């Protein structure tokens, strides 16, 4: 399939679609993202594209992984350096419009309805930015013989990029869906896409959703 910096050879039986942190706390008004002063409409704009790719991927019978950033109710897995950084109106664990911020089981921790997981899909709760840190993701991918990861989600320069770099170090071929990822800062997304594909794809590939969907069976 067409991609940057060069064509990507999708091996669907060995590929997983990884949707990063499309949670209410980041995407919807009243959540943690907005409490930091961000414009969440920039993240909401990718929902139709993500939903279309997810539907096509499911129809092709391929595996899906969802991630959620969050912490235990007692915050024992949330380092003080993470909770206390900056001067947000809400900190991790504080109670906001959607319950306690970034706490597992709270309404804001949930994935947005448009992309909600279904039976058979893996959901990874991660305490950090990368989806491999302190999670069973690597073991679950190895169990299924996965060698390629196709990424969507938010935010491009933080949790998406961190997970792609973790995956690259572990030997996975990584493709990012260009219009299936977003940042609160458009210039950060643009810089991240450039970094990932520089030097012959030092971290991975980038392609628009239309190119990916066209490669899936039945399309």
Name the catalytic one among 25, 78, 125, 126: 126
CA distance 169 to 60: 28
Token readout for 207 is: 């392609």
- Active site annotation includes 126: yes
CA distance 30 to 45: 17
CA distance 152 to 182: 9
Name the catalytic one among 25, 50, 125, 159: 159
CA dihedral over 87, 93, 99, 104, signed as positive or negative:
positive
Name the catalytic one among 21, 78, 125, 129: 21
Pairing outcome for strands 173-182 and 148-154:
parallel
Question: Which among 142, 139, 181, 186 is positioned nearest to 160, based on CA atoms?
Answer: 181
- Active site annotation includes 159: yes
Containing 51, the helix (H) or strand (E) segment is: helix 47-59
DSSP code of 177? E
Q: Which residues are catalytic?
A: 21, 126, 159
């Amino acid at each position: 399939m067409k991609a940057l910096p060069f064509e990507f050879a999708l091996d669907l039986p060995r590929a997983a679609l990884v949707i990063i942190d499309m949670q209410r706390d980041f995407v919807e008004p009243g959540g943690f993202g907005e409490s930091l002063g961000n414009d969440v409409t920039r993240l909401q704009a990718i929902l139709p594209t993500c939903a279309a790719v997810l539907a096509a991927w499911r129809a092709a019978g391929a595996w899906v992984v969802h991630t959620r950033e969050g912490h235990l109710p007692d915050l024992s897995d949330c380092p003080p350096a993470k909770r206390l950084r900056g001067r947000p109106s809400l900190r991790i664990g504080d109670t906001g419009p959607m319950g306690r911020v970034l706490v597992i089981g709270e309404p804001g921790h949930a994935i947005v309805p448009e992309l909600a997981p279904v039976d058979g899909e893996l959901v990874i709760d991660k305490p950090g930015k990368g989806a491999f840190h302190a999670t069973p993701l690597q073991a679950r991918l190895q169990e299924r013989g996965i060698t390629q990861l196709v990424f969507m989600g938010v935010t491009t320069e933080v949790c998406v990029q961190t997970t792609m770099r973790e995956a690259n170090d572990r030997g996975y071929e990584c493709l990012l869906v260009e219009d299936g990822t977003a940042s609160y800062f458009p210039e950060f997304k643009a810089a991240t896409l450039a970094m990932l594909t520089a030097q012959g794809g030092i971290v991975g590939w980038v392609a628009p959703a239309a190119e990916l969907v066209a490669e899936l069976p039945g399309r």
